[in-house]
Every structure is written in C-alpha cells, then in structure tokens.
C-alpha cells in the first residue's frame, strides 16, 4: 500500500486486531495488544532446535524386536503421521490468513515467530522420521490415506477455502465473522483439541521410558503450542472486545457446535488409531480427556462448558502446565543460550 506523507502520529486508540482504522502495519509503536509482544519474548526465550535432542535411545528402541509391541509401533507411526502435516496446515493459516488480515503490528510480529516455530515443529517430525529410518512416503502421506487423520484435516481445510481466497477482505459483518470463525477453528480446534490425543500418546511412551527422544521433541512442541493457543485465544477475546457486535448468540452457538464436531472427530481418531487402547489409556479415557480439553478451550472464550468431564489423565496437566514445565526445560534452554552467545 502507498505511504501517506504526514507528521500526524499513529493513534493507539485506532489500533485494532482487524480493520485497524488508517491501519499502519509498519510501525510497531504505539503498541496496543501487548499480549503479542509478551508472547514474542516468551517464544524467543524458549528457542530450541530438534537436532539438539538425542534420538539414540529411540533408534535402539525402534530396532529392538522386544521393546515395542506391534500396537505401540502402529500408534507411534499414526500420531507421527498426523503431526507431520498438521504443523504445515498451521503454518498456512498463520501466513495466508492471519498475517494477511491482522492489522496490529505487534500481533504480526508474533505471527512471524509463530510461523517459524511451526517450521521447527515440521522439522522435528522430519528428524524423528529420518532418525528411525521410517518410510517418509508412508508417514507424510498418512493424512491422505488414514481416514481418521484425513477427516480431521478435511474439517480444518474446509474452513481455509474461503479465507485463503485472494479476494477475501475483512471489513463487513459477514467477512469479520468469517475471520473470527477461522480463528475458532484454527486456535481452539486445530491447535487446542486436534493435537491432544497424539500428545497424550507420546507422553504415554515417555511414561514407559520408551521413545524418549521423540517424546522430548513433542514436549518442546507442546510448550510452543500452548503459547500459540494462548495467543489465538487472546486474539479471539480482543476481537470480541473491539467488535462485540460479531459475537452474536448465533455465532456462539455455531462456535460451540464446531467444537462439539471436533470432539467427535478427535474421539473417532483415538478409537480408530488405538482400538485396544495404549498404556492403560482406552477409547473411553481418550474421549473423556478430549471432552475435558474442549471445556477448557470453551471457558477461555467465555462459552458455556458442554461436558463437565473430569480429567481422566491428570498426569497430562503436569506435562502441559507451562509453569511446572519450566524446571524441566531450564537446563536445555540455558545451554542453548550459552551456546548461541559463544557462537556469535
Ligand atoms: Fe502452532
């Protein structure tokens, strides 16, 4: 867009998540959505790379004829199959939908960090596949072959169609609601629900002391993803504040309905992928866990709880909880910072 030559300074009160009036997306200041700046700094402090994590134990476990059962191998490959393409779908959303339509410069700054983190996650899956000498064609193509993965991805991608369209523009009631709907589907559902059965399986391996390198990769990924989810929820809540007219009872009902559809798809995924359960987690446990997670997402955007299901995997909160996680990550993150400093 052309630059207007003017000595008038940008008015912070005109900054908006979308539809910023006289939107100047080039100037970081004056900053209004400080949650984005905080998220950016947290992301930088959590910097990591997949190749820093040793996969030696995993290679031994995968090669051993006795350590992993056939069901465990299948579960490991299928969750990896889901993961390998999920972060590319996430990256597309960040770059092709959010970055294009968000008019808050500090939010766009964080999106650049988030886009990079999605790339790091895809790298992590690639690194796991490569370390274990898995068949790339088999794992990376699973989203087009395995129904339970295909159905989740097709659900997400069906919402991308409208919003990735080059002609799509925010600024009308319908298009702004469409953008908000995409945020609900992307943040609450893809980042907030669809990753969680797979996270649970990976931490199940970790609790058995199996495939510990892959599980550690996933723990770093989950730390980043919690931040992405927080950011997405902040975006949704900020839009609600800035444009309350969008958050109609009909829209709220639609959002709840989408979350419920997602819970069904995720429960179906878990039941198909782990028909006999895994590590003491059975289909019913997964279903309850997904319902518990869905309620946590709904309450963050002030929508009514739908399930009131207690958490059947309380150990997952320990793996997820960002505060508790801090100690776990302290050593490596510090090491990384020192290494980075010496390099320079
Ligand atoms: Fe993400």
Tell how far the Cα of 118 is from the centroid of ligand 1, in angstroms.
6
Cβ-in-10-Å burial (0-12, 13-18, 19+) of 64 comes to: exposed
More confident residue, 342 or 152: 152
Tell how far the Cα of 93 is from the centroid of ligand 1, in angstroms.
10
- pLDDT tier for residue 338 given thresholds of 50, 70 and 90: very low
Question: What tokens were used for 300?
Answer: 């963050």
Q: What is the DSSP code (8-state) at residue 293?
A: H
Q: What phi and psi values does residue 202 have, to the nearest 5 degrees? A: -65, -40
The residue among 147, 129, 151 whose CA lies nearest residue 273 is 147
**Does 62 reside within a domain?**
no
Cβ-in-10-Å burial (0-12, 13-18, 19+) of 334 comes to: exposed
Total count of domains within the chain:
1
State percent of the chain over pLDDT 70: 91
**Does 276 reside within a domain?**
yes
Range of the domain at 109: 68-332
**Does 53 reside within a domain?**
no
For the residues 119-142, what does the mean pLDDT come to?
97
Q: What per-residue confidence (pLDDT) applies to 319? A: 67
Instruction: Give pLDDT tens digits for 157-193.
Output: 998 888 898 899 999 999 999 999 999 999 999 999 9
Least confident range from 70-74, 78-82, 303-307, 327-331: namely: 327-331
Instruction: Give pLDDT tens digits for 190-227.
Output: 999 999 989 999 999 999 999 999 999 999 999 999 99
User: Are 281 and 311 spatial neighbours (Cβ–Cβ below 8 Å)?
Assistant: no
**Does 10 reside within a domain?**
no
**Does 34 reside within a domain?**
no
Tell how far the Cα of 256 is from the centroid of ligand 1, in angstroms.
21
Q: What per-residue confidence (pLDDT) applies to 1? A: 63
Tell how far the Cα of 192 is from the centroid of ligand 1, in angstroms.
9
- pLDDT tier for residue 241 given thresholds of 50, 70 and 90: very high
Q: How many CB atoms lie within 10 A of CB 257?
A: 11
**Does 37 reside within a domain?**
no
Q: How many Cα atoms are found within 13 Å in the side-chain-facing hemisphere of 156? A: 27
Instruction: Give pLDDT tens digits for 260-275.
Output: 999 999 999 998 888 8
Question: What tokens were used for 319?
Answer: 């793996």
For the residues 11-26, what does the mean pLDDT come to?
88
Tell how far the Cα of 291 is from the centroid of ligand 1, in angstroms.
21
d(CA 141, CA 85): 8
- pLDDT tier for residue 327 given thresholds of 50, 70 and 90: very low
Q: What per-residue confidence (pLDDT) applies to 161? A: 82
Instruction: Give pLDDT tens digits for 281-317.
Output: 888 999 999 999 999 999 999 999 999 999 999 888 7
Tell how far the Cα of 65 is from the centroid of ligand 1, in angstroms.
35
**Does 52 reside within a domain?**
no
Tell how far the Cα of 88 is from the centroid of ligand 1, in angstroms.
9
Q: What per-residue confidence (pLDDT) applies to 101? A: 95
The residue among 52, 70, 198, 199 whose CA lies nearest residue 127 is 52
**Does 106 reside within a domain?**
yes
Catalytic amino acids? 127
Please give all residues whose CB falls under 5 A of ion ligand 1, grouped by chain where several chains appear.
Answer: 90, 191, 225, 228
For the residues 121-127, what does the mean pLDDT come to?
97
- pLDDT tier for residue 328 given thresholds of 50, 70 and 90: very low
CATH code for position 309: 1.10.620.20
Instruction: Give pLDDT tens digits for 37-61.
Output: 999 999 999 999 999 999 999 999 9
């Amino acid at each position: 867009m052309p630059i207007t030559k003017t000595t008038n300074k940008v008015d912070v009160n005109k900054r908006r998540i979308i539809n910023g009036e006289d939107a100047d997306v080039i100037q970081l200041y004056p900053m209004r959505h400080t949650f984005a700046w905080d998220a950016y700094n947290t992301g930088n402090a959590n910097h990591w790379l997949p190749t820093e994590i040793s996969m030696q134990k995993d290679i031994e476990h995968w090669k051993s004829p006795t350590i992993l059962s056939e069901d465990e191998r299948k579960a490991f490959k299928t969750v990896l199959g889901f993961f390998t393409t999920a972060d590319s779908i996430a990256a597309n959303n960040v770059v092709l939908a959010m970055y294009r339509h968000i008019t808050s410069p500090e939010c766009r700054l964080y999106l650049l960090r988030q886009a990079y983190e999605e790339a790091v996650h895809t790298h992590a899956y690639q690194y796991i596949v490569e370390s274990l000498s898995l068949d790339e064609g088999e794992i990376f193509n699973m989203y087009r072959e395995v129904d339970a993965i295909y159905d989740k991805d097709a659900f997400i991608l069906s919402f991308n169609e409208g919003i990735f369209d080059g002609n799509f523009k925010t600024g009308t009631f319908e298009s702004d609601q469409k953008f908000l709907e995409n945020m609900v589907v992307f943040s609450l559902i893809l980042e907030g629900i669809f990753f969680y059965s797979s996270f649970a399986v990976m931490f199940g391996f970790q609790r058995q002391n199996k495939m510990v390198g892959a599980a550690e990769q996933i723990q770093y990924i989950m730390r980043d993803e919690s931040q992405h989810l927080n950011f997405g929820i902040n975006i949704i809540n900020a839009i609600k504040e800035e444009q309350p007219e969008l958050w109609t009872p009909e829209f709220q009902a639609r959002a709840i309905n989408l979350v419920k559809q997602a819970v069904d798809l995720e429960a179906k995924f878990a039941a198909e992928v782990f028909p006999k359960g895994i590590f003491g987690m059975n289909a019913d446990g997964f279903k309850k866990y997904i319902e518990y997670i869905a309620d946590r997402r709904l309450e963050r955007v002030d929508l009514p709880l739908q399930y009131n299901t207690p958490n059947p995997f309380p150990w997952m909160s320990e793996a997820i909880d960002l505060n508790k996680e801090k100690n776990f990550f302290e050593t490596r993150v510090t090491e990384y910072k020192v290494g980075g400093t010496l390099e320079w």
